[in-house]
Amino acid sequence: MLKRIWAYLKALFKSTADRAMDPEIELQAAIDEAKRRDQELRNQAAKVIAHRTQLEAKIEKAAEDVGEAREMAKQALLKAEEAKAAGDAAAVEKWTQAAQSLAMRLQAAEKNLESLKEQYEVATAQAEKAKEAVQRNAMRLQELSAKRMELLGALQQAKMQEAVNEAVEALSATLEDELPSLDQVEEKIERRKAEAMARAELREATPEGAQAELEEALDLAEADAKLEELKRELGLTAAPEPSGEAEATEA
């Protein structure tokens, strides 16, 4: 049970850390790690190539030792032959032993030279592999750098798009919060019309409303009479004909 809880906590922590990690920091960390490994690989390759170079110097020295031992062994043999021709037994033994010693030295030098040559072949192959590995890793590092630039560009675009989205969302939220919708405006207008009509209906249903309506009718009648009077003064209408009762009185 404790192991399961611990595994859950580790997974939760890793998930939280992944979300919190800045992609730009992750990219830079990957590049830094690749550069560190590239430097380590270069150091190892340099050691391999240096070992090959050292073997070259040793082979050259071993070849000189072989040549020197061979030449000295030959000289000892010649001295032994000269002593033999002179009948000097002691000198013959001396130079013969010297020749044998030099022959053993020559044999050891040749074995050492052969061993160094074998090592050199291996070192040469290793050096070539090391150089190829360095070249491949250098190309890989360049690819990572190019990919980093590409991803950084995409990241910047994503950040810009996120900023635009946030601005649009904020603007939409502001408009929705601060500006009434058309439905709300229409509802307010209809409510005010209904309230006005209700007040008018209530006024007509009361004595005060009836009186006001009568006064309004009288005002309209007086206004019409005043208009007729003005028209007569302007000659816009014919004068009213006298009534029959007035004509009888005059007669």
Higher-confidence residue: 209 or 111?
A: 111
CB 148 within 8 A of CB 27: yes
Q: What share of the chain is helix, strand, coil (3-state, %, to 5)?
A: 90, 0, 10
Q: Which of 6-15, 138-147, 166-175 has the lowest mean pLDDT?
A: 6-15
The token pair that represents 78 in the structure block: 């010649």
Specify the pLDDT at position 25.
81
CA distances from 52 to 61, 62, 110, 129, 143 (A): 14, 15, 19, 12, 31
Architecture field, domain 26-151: Orthogonal Bundle (1.10)
The pTM is what?
0.49
Greatest Cα pair distance, the chain, in angstroms, is: 212
Average pLDDT, the chain: 78
Domain boundaries, the chain: 26-151, 182-236
Summarize pLDDT for 37-75 with one digit per residue, the tens. 888 888 988 999 999 999 999 999 999 999 999 999 999
Specify the pLDDT at position 238.
59
Specify the pLDDT at position 114.
95
Higher-confidence residue: 192 or 182?
A: 192
When pLDDT is cut at 50, 70 and 90, the band that residue 202 belongs to is: low
- The torsion angle over the Cα atoms of residues 143, 149, 150 and 156, rounded to 10 degrees, is 160
| Residue 14 CB neighbours (<10 A) | 10
Alpha carbons 52 and 165: distance in angstroms, whole number: 62
Tell whether the model's pLDDT for residue 174 goes beyond 60: no
HSE-CB of 248 using CA atoms within 13 angstroms: 3
When pLDDT is cut at 50, 70 and 90, the band that residue 228 belongs to is: confident
**Radius of gyration of the chain from its Cα atoms, rounded to whole angstroms:** 60
